[in-house]
Amino acid sequence: MKNFPMFLRMTGRRVVICGGGEEAARKCRLILKTDAEIVIVADGLDPELEGVVASGRARQAHEAGPDTFANAVLVFIATGDEEQDRQLASHARAAGAVVNVIDRPELCDAFTPSIVDRDPVVVAIGTEGAAPVLGRAIKTEVETMLAPRLGSFVALAGRLRDAVAERFAPSARRGFWEWAFSGEAFRAHLAGRERDAARLLKDAIALGKAPDRQGHIALVGAGPGARDLLTLRAVQRLQSADVIFYDRLVDPEVLELARRDADRVFVGKDVGACAWPQDRIDRLIVAEAAKGRRVVRLKSGDPSVFGRAGEEIAAALAAGIEVEIVPGITAASAAAASLTRPLTERGETDTFVITTGTCRPGDATPTRAHIAQPGTSMAFYMAVEKAAEVQRDLLASGAPSDCPVDIVSCASTDRERHAATTLSRLAETITAEGLPSPAILFVRYPKSLRAEVSEKGTVAA
Ligand code: SAH
């Protein structure tokens, strides 16, 4: 290690920024996060720095005088003039400040890391200048791991430290803090229920005992396949899960984002094998949560779209277990994105319908007459095998035979395939192209098509 990371105390200290351009403004943005006094040494200031000075948060000095660097903890230098940079660096160093000269590593005592800021939690990443691009990529990864509200929870915990020390014997404190940083108070705070979180913490402190760990079930949307189509919240739930129950359609790439020592249970249907019955899944997730474990039920796309989420929520609530939905990108959104086509088009398709080709065994096929209307864009899920039936019903309900149709298989994965056709050739195209499940069938019945057809007189106006 050529550079050793340390955190500098800023309160009551001064930071001097020499230079008034964009580079200086960038450093100033960083220092504004601290409570240091800021002095900007420059004749002319870029509009952003002018704003900072006007707000009273920084003071401008036109040149560096004998006192400028006194009490300075840190001096950034970016005048753009090599000789001037060098002189300022030597004055600042003589005054005892740590010096950073932008783009001149040979004149630097210290380097600014990539920072992930969840004040008071701060993560600094450095690569000793060897790979700044990698540093930024690591920063992005860490950003996804740390919940946005983490900092304010840690600050709250900090304010309660003395009270905890008073109420808990030293041997019990660790247990309390372990609960505090993973239990319901933590989850409530991260979910935006800050008052509930504070109350839970204070109740536990008043009792002098951390509550038994409560289990929790998160129905998490895994998105359509590509791992970068997961939400940050989904990644966080995967990172803190004790056990993950996942479906066949969940891409292995997505599971890689889970905490390494989380148990993984496959509950989906493999080709030719039997699916786990839903009531068995319901029982199992509830049983795991009842042990106090954090359960993730990972489902493809959005858990609330054809995901049988309702049954799992009911089972959890019946057992008194906290349950939440973490929404995901549903297959129709991903398929439309793959086509670079919107799901609705102003003036053409004002209604967007999500529907299915496959219902519960024994149920009647949904009536399609009311969706086969001009101005409608329809996404059919679980419909590859039922394409002929969909085609027949829509045509019989009056949809024109040349309604444009797109079939998107395995959207967002490296197996993605697409075919464009018309309603009258839908089933034929799927067979001819051999398009596999999972796929979305998009049928569009734009208003302009109806106008065209009625002009030709094939449809009653
Ligand atoms: N909850 C999921 C849907 C589950 S039902 C979601 O919101 O996407 C399963 C159906 O979803 C499949 O039959 C198929 O129609 C669709 N599907 C799932 N993943 C898909 C993908 N990557 N590409 C196209 N369709 C997909």
Determine phi and psi for 212, rounding to 5 degrees: -60, 145
Query: Counting beta carbons within 10 angstroms of the beta carbon of residue 212, is it exposed (0 to 12), middle (13 to 18) or buried (19 or more)?
Result: exposed
- What is the tally of structural domains in the chain? 4
Q: Report the distance separating Cα 95 and Cα 80, nearest Å.
A: 22
My answer on whether 233 and 318 are in the same domain is yes
State which ligand 1 atom lies nearest to the alpha carbon of 225.
22
Number of Cβ within a 10 Å radius of residue 199: 13
27 is known as an active-site residue: no
Coil vs helix vs strand at 341: coil
Say whether both 105 and 43 belong to one domain.
Answer: yes
Residue nearest to atom 15 of ligand 1 (CA): 381
Chain position carrying tokens 């009625």: 454
At 352, give phi and psi (nearest 5°).
Answer: -125, 125
What's the token pair of residue 327? 């929404």
Per residue of the chain (461 residues), give pLDDT as tens.
999 999 999 999 999 999 999 999 999 999 999 999 999 999 999 999 999 999 999 999 999 988 999 989 999 999 999 999 999 999 999 999 999 999 999 999 999 999 999 999 999 999 988 888 899 999 998 998 898 999 999 999 999 999 999 999 999 999 999 999 988 899 999 989 999 999 999 999 999 998 888 899 999 999 999 989 999 899 989 988 999 999 888 888 899 889 888 999 999 855 445 568 889 999 999 999 999 999 999 999 999 999 999 999 999 999 999 999 999 999 999 999 999 999 999 999 999 999 999 988 888 888 899 999 999 999 999 999 999 999 999 999 999 999 999 999 999 999 999 999 999 999 999 999 999 999 999 999 999 998 787 777 655 43
Domain that holds residue 398: 338-454
- Helix (H), strand (E) at residue 190: helix 184-190
Domain boundary among 329, 351, 366: 329
Q: Are residues 373 and 434 in the same domain?
A: yes
- Among candidate residues 302, 329, 356, the one where a domain is terminated: 329
**Within this chain, do residues 298 and 375 fall inside the same structural domain, yes or no?**
no
Question: Do 372 and 434 reside in the same domain of the chain?
Answer: yes
Among 87, 20, 5, 90, which residue's Cα sits nearest to residue 50?
Answer: 20
Q: Are residues 365 and 442 in the same domain?
A: yes
Catalytic residue (choose from 27, 85, 242, 247): 247
343, 332 contact by CB (below 8 A): yes
| Position 142 in a domain | no
Res 349: pLDDT: 96
Domain boundary among 61, 88, 112: 112
Do the beta carbons of residue 230 and residue 254 sit within 8 Å?
A: yes
- Do the domain assignments include residue 368? yes
CB atoms within 10 A of CB 62: 9
Q: Is residue 120 reached through a cis peptide bond, with omega within 30 degrees of 0 on the bond before it? A: yes
In DSSP terms, which residues pair with 443 in a beta bridge? Answer: 378, 405
Assess whether 260 and 365 both reside in one domain: no
Q: Is the CB of 394 under 6 A from ligand 1?
A: no
Ligand 1 in reach of 297 Cβ (< 6 A): no
301: CA distance to ligand 1 center in Å? Answer: 6
Please tell me the distance between residue 249's alpha carbon and the centre of ligand 1 in angstroms.
8
Same-domain status, 392 and 447? yes
Q: For 270-330, give the DSSP string.
A: PTTSPPPPHHHHHHHHHHHHHTT-EEEEEESB-TTSSS-HHHHHHHHHHTT-EEEEE----
**402 has catalytic annotation:** no
CATH code of residue 67: 3.40.50.720
Asked if residue 323 and residue 385 are part of one domain, the reply reads no
Give, using CA atoms, the residue closest to atom 9 of ligand 1: 382
Distance of CA 103 to the CA centre of its chain: 33
- Return phi, psi of residue 180, to 5°: -60, -40
Tokens 């786990």 identify what position?
A: 276
